[in-house]
Protein backbone atom coordinates (compact mmCIF):
# COMPACT_ATOMS: atom_id res chain seq x y z
CA UNK A 1 0.00 0.00 0.00
CA UNK A 2 1.33 3.46 -0.86
CA UNK A 3 0.11 5.98 1.71
CA UNK A 4 0.72 9.71 1.18
CA UNK A 5 0.50 12.03 4.18
CA UNK A 6 0.19 15.82 3.78
CA UNK A 7 2.04 17.61 6.55
CA UNK A 8 2.27 21.35 7.15
CA UNK A 9 4.68 23.35 9.27
CA UNK A 10 2.79 25.83 11.46
CA UNK A 11 3.80 28.35 14.15
CA UNK A 12 3.70 27.06 17.72
CA UNK A 13 0.36 28.71 18.45
CA UNK A 14 0.78 29.17 22.19
CA UNK A 15 3.36 31.87 21.41
CA UNK A 16 1.78 33.59 18.41
CA UNK A 17 0.72 37.21 18.65
CA UNK A 18 -0.84 39.53 16.10
CA UNK A 19 0.60 43.04 15.59
CA UNK A 20 -2.24 45.37 16.65
CA UNK A 21 -1.27 48.02 14.03
CA UNK A 22 -0.75 45.85 10.94
CA UNK A 23 -2.79 42.76 11.83
CA UNK A 24 0.15 40.60 10.67
CA UNK A 25 1.31 37.55 12.63
CA UNK A 26 4.48 38.27 14.61
CA UNK A 27 6.54 35.24 13.65
CA UNK A 28 9.98 36.41 14.83
CA UNK A 29 11.33 34.09 17.48
CA UNK A 30 8.26 31.85 17.22
CA UNK A 31 9.08 28.16 16.95
CA UNK A 32 7.55 26.10 14.16
CA UNK A 33 6.09 22.64 14.64
CA UNK A 34 4.32 19.98 12.60
CA UNK A 35 0.60 20.79 12.53
CA UNK A 36 -0.78 18.72 15.46
CA UNK A 37 -3.53 17.00 13.41
CA UNK A 38 -0.91 15.96 10.85
CA UNK A 39 0.93 14.02 13.56
CA UNK A 40 -2.25 11.96 13.96
CA UNK A 41 -2.56 11.49 10.19
CA UNK A 42 1.05 10.29 10.11
CA UNK A 43 0.44 7.95 13.04
CA UNK A 44 -2.57 6.44 11.23
CA UNK A 45 -0.41 5.97 8.11
CA UNK A 46 2.37 4.24 10.07
CA UNK A 47 -0.15 1.90 11.72
CA UNK A 48 -1.57 0.99 8.28
CA UNK A 49 1.95 0.32 7.02
CA UNK A 50 2.70 -1.87 10.05
CA UNK A 51 -0.51 -3.84 9.54
CA UNK A 52 -0.58 -4.20 5.76
CA UNK A 53 2.93 -3.35 4.57
CA UNK A 54 3.84 -0.64 2.08
CA UNK A 55 5.39 2.80 1.90
CA UNK A 56 4.59 6.07 3.64
CA UNK A 57 5.43 9.23 1.67
CA UNK A 58 5.05 12.65 3.26
CA UNK A 59 4.58 15.84 1.25
CA UNK A 60 4.57 19.47 2.30
CA UNK A 61 4.25 22.81 0.56
CA UNK A 62 6.19 25.56 2.26
CA UNK A 63 9.49 27.42 2.57
CA UNK A 64 12.82 25.50 2.71
CA UNK A 65 12.63 25.33 6.52
CA UNK A 66 9.61 23.02 6.17
CA UNK A 67 12.23 20.32 5.62
CA UNK A 68 12.32 20.13 9.43
CA UNK A 69 8.85 18.56 9.64
CA UNK A 70 9.80 16.09 6.89
CA UNK A 71 12.88 15.09 8.93
CA UNK A 72 10.60 14.63 11.95
CA UNK A 73 8.34 12.41 9.84
CA UNK A 74 11.39 10.28 8.98
CA UNK A 75 12.09 10.04 12.70
CA UNK A 76 8.60 8.68 13.24
CA UNK A 77 8.91 6.08 10.46
CA UNK A 78 8.01 7.71 7.11
CA UNK A 79 9.93 6.36 4.11
CA UNK A 80 10.02 9.22 1.60
CA UNK A 81 9.75 12.99 1.84
CA UNK A 82 8.79 15.61 -0.74
CA UNK A 83 8.80 19.38 -0.42
CA UNK A 84 7.09 21.77 -2.84
CA UNK A 85 8.95 25.02 -2.38
CA UNK A 86 9.06 28.07 -4.61
CA UNK A 87 8.38 31.80 -4.25
CA UNK A 88 5.69 31.25 -6.88
CA UNK A 89 3.71 29.24 -4.28
CA UNK A 90 3.67 32.14 -1.76
CA UNK A 91 0.34 33.79 -0.86
CA UNK A 92 -1.62 30.65 -1.75
CA UNK A 93 -5.18 30.42 -0.47
CA UNK A 94 -6.76 27.03 0.19
CA UNK A 95 -7.67 26.57 -3.49
CA UNK A 96 -4.11 27.21 -4.71
CA UNK A 97 -2.65 25.17 -1.82
CA UNK A 98 -4.90 22.19 -2.67
CA UNK A 99 -4.08 22.54 -6.35
CA UNK A 100 -0.32 22.71 -5.82
CA UNK A 101 -0.28 19.74 -3.42
CA UNK A 102 -2.40 17.74 -5.89
CA UNK A 103 0.12 18.51 -8.67
CA UNK A 104 2.94 17.26 -6.43
CA UNK A 105 1.04 14.11 -5.46
CA UNK A 106 0.42 13.33 -9.13
CA UNK A 107 4.20 13.20 -9.63
CA UNK A 108 4.59 10.48 -6.96
CA UNK A 109 4.29 6.74 -7.59
CA UNK A 110 0.65 5.59 -7.79
CA UNK A 111 -0.95 5.94 -4.36
CA UNK A 112 -3.77 4.10 -2.59
CA UNK A 113 -4.70 6.64 0.05
CA UNK A 114 -3.86 10.24 0.97
CA UNK A 115 -4.15 11.14 4.66
CA UNK A 116 -4.47 14.74 5.86
CA UNK A 117 -5.01 16.30 9.24
CA UNK A 118 -8.53 17.57 9.82
CA UNK A 119 -7.35 21.19 9.94
CA UNK A 120 -4.36 23.34 10.74
CA UNK A 121 -3.74 25.50 13.77
CA UNK A 122 -2.91 28.58 11.65
CA UNK A 123 -5.17 28.74 8.56
CA UNK A 124 -7.68 26.48 10.35
CA UNK A 125 -10.06 26.12 7.39
CA UNK A 126 -10.19 22.30 7.02
CA UNK A 127 -10.58 22.88 3.27
CA UNK A 128 -7.27 21.64 1.90
CA UNK A 129 -7.87 17.87 2.28
CA UNK A 130 -11.23 17.86 0.45
CA UNK A 131 -9.74 20.40 -2.01
CA UNK A 132 -6.90 18.01 -2.97
CA UNK A 133 -9.40 15.17 -3.46
CA UNK A 134 -11.58 17.35 -5.71
CA UNK A 135 -8.60 18.34 -7.87
CA UNK A 136 -7.52 14.68 -8.17
CA UNK A 137 -11.11 13.52 -8.74
CA UNK A 138 -11.03 10.88 -5.96
CA UNK A 139 -13.51 10.14 -3.14
CA UNK A 140 -12.84 11.68 0.27
CA UNK A 141 -14.07 11.36 3.81
CA UNK A 142 -13.62 14.06 6.47
CA UNK A 143 -13.52 13.96 10.29
CA UNK A 144 -12.33 10.36 10.41
CA UNK A 145 -11.85 9.41 14.04
CA UNK A 146 -10.78 5.78 13.45
CA UNK A 147 -9.40 3.71 10.63
CA UNK A 148 -10.92 0.27 11.20
CA UNK A 149 -8.90 -1.52 8.53
CA UNK A 150 -8.13 -2.00 4.86
CA UNK A 151 -9.23 -4.49 2.21
CA UNK A 152 -7.83 -4.93 -1.28
CA UNK A 153 -10.38 -2.34 -2.45
CA UNK A 154 -10.30 0.39 0.15
CA UNK A 155 -10.56 1.49 3.77
CA UNK A 156 -13.23 1.13 6.41
CA UNK A 157 -13.38 4.21 8.62
CA UNK A 158 -15.46 5.81 11.35
CA UNK A 159 -16.35 9.48 10.85
CA UNK A 160 -17.36 11.59 13.82
CA UNK A 161 -19.36 14.64 12.79
CA UNK A 162 -20.18 15.68 16.35
CA UNK A 163 -23.93 15.08 16.08
CA UNK A 164 -23.55 11.84 14.13
CA UNK A 165 -21.02 9.00 14.03
CA UNK A 166 -21.02 6.58 11.12
CA UNK A 167 -18.98 3.75 9.62
CA UNK A 168 -18.13 3.99 5.98
CA UNK A 169 -16.22 2.07 3.31
CA UNK A 170 -14.25 4.18 0.89
CA UNK A 171 -12.59 2.85 -2.26
CA UNK A 172 -8.94 3.32 -3.26
CA UNK A 173 -7.58 5.69 -4.37
CA UNK A 174 -9.12 8.00 -1.79
CA UNK A 175 -8.37 10.78 0.69
CA UNK A 176 -9.36 11.00 4.34
CA UNK A 177 -8.87 13.77 6.90
CA UNK A 178 -8.21 12.61 10.44
CA UNK A 179 -9.10 13.78 13.92
CA UNK A 180 -7.21 13.00 17.12
CA UNK A 181 -9.28 9.84 17.74
CA UNK A 182 -7.00 7.71 15.57
CA UNK A 183 -4.41 7.12 18.29
CA UNK A 184 -1.65 8.93 20.13
CA UNK A 185 1.23 9.85 17.77
CA UNK A 186 4.46 8.03 18.54
CA UNK A 187 7.50 9.93 19.79
CA UNK A 188 10.42 10.75 17.50
CA UNK A 189 12.90 7.87 17.58
CA UNK A 190 16.53 8.67 18.33
CA UNK A 191 17.55 5.51 16.44
CA UNK A 192 15.64 6.68 13.34
CA UNK A 193 17.13 10.16 13.74
CA UNK A 194 20.57 8.59 13.34
CA UNK A 195 19.67 6.22 10.52
CA UNK A 196 17.67 8.72 8.43
CA UNK A 197 20.08 11.64 8.87
CA UNK A 198 21.30 11.41 5.26
CA UNK A 199 18.01 10.51 3.65
CA UNK A 200 17.21 12.86 0.79
CA UNK A 201 14.19 15.13 0.66
CA UNK A 202 12.99 15.53 -2.92
CA UNK A 203 12.30 19.22 -3.50
CA UNK A 204 10.25 20.44 -6.43
CA UNK A 205 9.79 24.01 -7.59
CA UNK A 206 6.98 25.35 -9.78
CA UNK A 207 9.08 24.55 -12.86
CA UNK A 208 9.06 20.86 -11.91
CA UNK A 209 5.26 20.75 -11.96
CA UNK A 210 2.92 20.72 -14.96
CA UNK A 211 3.62 23.79 -17.13
CA UNK A 212 -0.12 24.20 -17.80
CA UNK A 213 -0.64 24.59 -14.03
CA UNK A 214 1.59 27.64 -13.47
CA UNK A 215 -1.24 30.23 -13.41
CA UNK A 216 -2.96 28.36 -10.57
CA UNK A 217 -0.11 28.60 -8.05
CA UNK A 218 0.39 31.10 -5.24
CA UNK A 219 -1.17 34.54 -5.12
CA UNK A 220 -2.11 34.60 -8.82
CA UNK A 221 -4.07 31.35 -8.42
CA UNK A 222 -5.82 32.54 -5.25
CA UNK A 223 -9.28 34.09 -5.52
CA UNK A 224 -9.42 34.63 -1.71
CA UNK A 225 -7.45 37.46 -0.14
CA UNK A 226 -7.36 37.95 3.63
CA UNK A 227 -7.95 41.69 4.21
CA UNK A 228 -7.27 41.79 7.92
CA UNK A 229 -6.27 39.42 10.70
CA UNK A 230 -7.12 40.46 14.25
CA UNK A 231 -7.63 38.80 17.61
CA UNK A 232 -11.25 38.83 18.80
CA UNK A 233 -12.01 41.44 21.45
CA UNK A 234 -12.26 39.83 24.85
CA UNK A 235 -14.67 41.54 27.24
CA UNK A 236 -14.89 40.73 30.91
CA UNK A 237 -18.09 42.77 31.50
CA UNK A 238 -21.09 40.81 32.75
CA UNK A 239 -24.63 41.32 34.04
CA UNK A 240 -26.33 39.41 36.83
CA UNK A 241 -30.07 38.77 36.51
CA UNK A 242 -32.48 37.64 39.18
CA UNK A 243 -36.02 36.30 38.94
CA UNK A 244 -38.01 33.14 38.36
CA UNK A 245 -37.03 30.66 35.67
CA UNK A 246 -39.71 32.05 33.33
CA UNK A 247 -38.69 35.67 33.93
CA UNK A 248 -35.05 34.80 33.33
CA UNK A 249 -35.84 32.95 30.10
CA UNK A 250 -37.85 35.96 28.83
CA UNK A 251 -34.97 38.21 29.77
CA UNK A 252 -32.54 35.93 27.90
CA UNK A 253 -34.67 35.98 24.72
CA UNK A 254 -34.96 39.78 24.95
CA UNK A 255 -31.19 40.10 25.31
CA UNK A 256 -30.49 37.77 22.39
CA UNK A 257 -32.89 39.83 20.24
CA UNK A 258 -31.23 43.08 21.34
CA UNK A 259 -27.88 41.64 20.26
CA UNK A 260 -29.52 40.53 17.00
CA UNK A 261 -28.47 36.94 17.65
CA UNK A 262 -32.05 35.61 17.24
CA UNK A 263 -35.08 36.96 15.43
CA UNK A 264 -38.81 36.28 15.50
CA UNK A 265 -38.99 34.43 18.85
CA UNK A 266 -42.58 34.62 20.18
CA UNK A 267 -43.03 35.44 23.87
CA UNK A 268 -44.04 32.25 25.70
CA UNK A 269 -47.50 32.26 27.26
CA UNK A 270 -47.65 32.34 31.05
C1 LIG B 1 -0.27 35.02 7.68
C2 LIG B 1 -1.26 34.27 6.83
C3 LIG B 1 -1.81 34.93 5.71
C4 LIG B 1 -2.73 34.27 4.92
N5 LIG B 1 -3.25 34.93 3.85
C6 LIG B 1 -4.22 34.34 3.13
C7 LIG B 1 -4.87 34.99 2.05
O8 LIG B 1 -4.57 36.13 1.71
N9 LIG B 1 -5.88 34.34 1.41
C10 LIG B 1 -6.28 33.11 1.80
O11 LIG B 1 -7.25 32.56 1.26
N12 LIG B 1 -5.66 32.45 2.77
C13 LIG B 1 -4.65 33.02 3.46
N14 LIG B 1 -4.06 32.34 4.47
C15 LIG B 1 -4.44 30.98 4.75
C16 LIG B 1 -3.66 30.03 3.85
O17 LIG B 1 -4.23 30.05 2.59
C18 LIG B 1 -3.79 28.66 4.43
O19 LIG B 1 -2.89 28.60 5.54
C20 LIG B 1 -3.43 27.54 3.47
O21 LIG B 1 -4.12 27.65 2.27
C22 LIG B 1 -3.74 26.19 4.04
O23 LIG B 1 -5.02 26.18 4.54
P24 LIG B 1 -5.26 25.81 6.04
O25 LIG B 1 -4.07 26.19 6.84
O26 LIG B 1 -6.59 26.34 6.43
O27 LIG B 1 -5.31 24.21 5.95
P28 LIG B 1 -6.45 23.21 6.38
O29 LIG B 1 -7.39 23.05 5.26
O30 LIG B 1 -7.00 23.54 7.73
O31 LIG B 1 -5.51 21.92 6.48
C32 LIG B 1 -6.01 20.59 6.44
C33 LIG B 1 -4.88 19.64 6.16
O34 LIG B 1 -4.39 19.86 4.83
C35 LIG B 1 -2.98 19.61 4.79
N36 LIG B 1 -2.28 20.85 4.43
C37 LIG B 1 -2.72 22.13 4.48
N38 LIG B 1 -1.76 22.99 4.04
C39 LIG B 1 -0.69 22.21 3.70
C40 LIG B 1 0.61 22.48 3.20
N41 LIG B 1 1.03 23.73 2.94
N42 LIG B 1 1.44 21.44 2.98
C43 LIG B 1 1.03 20.17 3.25
N44 LIG B 1 -0.16 19.85 3.73
C45 LIG B 1 -1.02 20.85 3.95
C46 LIG B 1 -2.60 19.14 6.19
O47 LIG B 1 -2.72 17.74 6.24
C48 LIG B 1 -3.66 19.80 7.05
O49 LIG B 1 -3.86 19.15 8.29
C50 LIG B 1 -3.12 32.94 5.23
C51 LIG B 1 -2.55 32.28 6.31
C52 LIG B 1 -1.63 32.93 7.11
C53 LIG B 1 -1.05 32.21 8.29
pLDDT in tens, the chain (270 residues): 999 999 999 998 766 777 777 666 677 778 899 999 999 999 999 999 999 999 999 999 999 999 999 999 999 999 999 999 999 999 999 999 999 999 999 999 999 999 999 999 988 999 999 999 999 999 999 999 999 999 999 999 999 998 899 999 999 999 999 999 999 999 999 999 999 999 999 999 999 999 898 999 999 999 998 887 777 788 888 889 999 999 999 999 999 988 888 876 665 544
Give every CB contact of residue 182 below 8 A, 6+ residues apart in sequence.
40, 41, 43, 44, 47, 144, 145, 146, 147
The pLDDT, as a whole number, for residue 178 is: 98
Asked if residues 174 and 139 have their Cβ atoms less than 8 Å apart, the reply is yes
CA dihedral 236, 242, 245, 249 (to 10 degrees): -50
**CA nearest ligand 1 atom 21, residue:** 94
User: How many structural domains is the chain composed of?
Assistant: 2
Q: Is 129 in the pocket of ligand 1 (CB under 6 A)?
A: yes
Nearest ligand 1 atom to alpha carbon 96: 21
Domain limits for position 156: 2-221
Q: Is 123 in the pocket of ligand 1 (CB under 6 A)?
A: yes
Q: Is 122 in the pocket of ligand 1 (CB under 6 A)?
A: yes
Q: Is 201 in the pocket of ligand 1 (CB under 6 A)?
A: no
In this structure, is residue 30 part of a structural domain?
Answer: yes
Do 258 and 177 lie in one domain? The reply is no
CA of 53 to the centre of ligand 1 (A): 31
Residue 184 is given by DSSP the state: P
| Ligand 1 pocket mutation, candidates 32, 84, 97, 224, criterion most atoms within 8 A of CB | 97
pTM, full prediction: 0.86
Do 40 and 168 lie in one domain? The reply is yes
Report helix angle 128-136 to 94-107, nearest 10. 50
The pLDDT, as a whole number, for residue 127 is: 98
- Which residues make beta-bridge pairs with 157? 147, 168
Do 178 and 247 lie in one domain? The reply is no
Amino acid sequence: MHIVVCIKQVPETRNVEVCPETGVLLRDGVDSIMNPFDLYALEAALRLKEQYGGTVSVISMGPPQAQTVIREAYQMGADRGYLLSDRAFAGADTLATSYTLAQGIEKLDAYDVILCGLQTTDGDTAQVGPGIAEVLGIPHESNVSRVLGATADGLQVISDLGTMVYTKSIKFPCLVTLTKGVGEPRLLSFKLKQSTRDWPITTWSAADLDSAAQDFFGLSGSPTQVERIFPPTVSDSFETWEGSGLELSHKLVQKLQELRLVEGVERAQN
